[in-house]
Structure 1
Amino acid sequence: MHDRVLRHPECVQNLYFTYHFVLRALPKAEKYLSEAEYSTGNDAEDHHTHKLMVALVGSERLRIACPIPFNEAKMWRGPDA
């Protein structure tokens, strides 16, 4: 990992951006992810998975951990979007 990723600042920046992008997406998808069916083929696992997803997307810690790191509205506009 060090040789293939960490030695290349652009790769680290891409990972950082992707991490923040996913963190920002989770609260926005809260309603969908909280109501989705999780089917593992095992009822106990399905229930546990659902509980974990509801706890994750509804977490105040998640919202606090990822304040708006970039202006999403500007991100997808313009010639370099």
Structure 2
Amino acid sequence: MPTSHPNFRVLPFLDQIELVWDEGRHIAPRYEGKDTLVLYHMQGDFFVEMFYNHVDNVLQERLRTFVSTAFLEPYAAYIKLDDLALD
């Protein structure tokens, strides 16, 4: 059974990361200063952005989660609809 957005948000950080890697569907990266933000769509119908510092080569202990598709706009330049296997 997919994890809901509220249940995901209360998990410890390392459990959140594990769940993203196990259940998340990679959508696209985008770049913001020295950070790479990597977008995942979760089975519970929400999105997770993982923050990766590409200068220091480290995953930051920070995630952003959201359900609104309005927050997807910054990824528009990085996504080709043909690359998405829409069900």
Same fold (TM over 0.5): no
Q: Which has the higher contact order (CA 8 A, sep 6+)?
A: 1
Higher helix share: 1
- For the aligned pair, the TM-score class normalised by the smaller chain equals under 0.3
* Higher-Rg member (1/2): 1
TM-score of the superposed pair, with normalisation by structure 2: 0.23
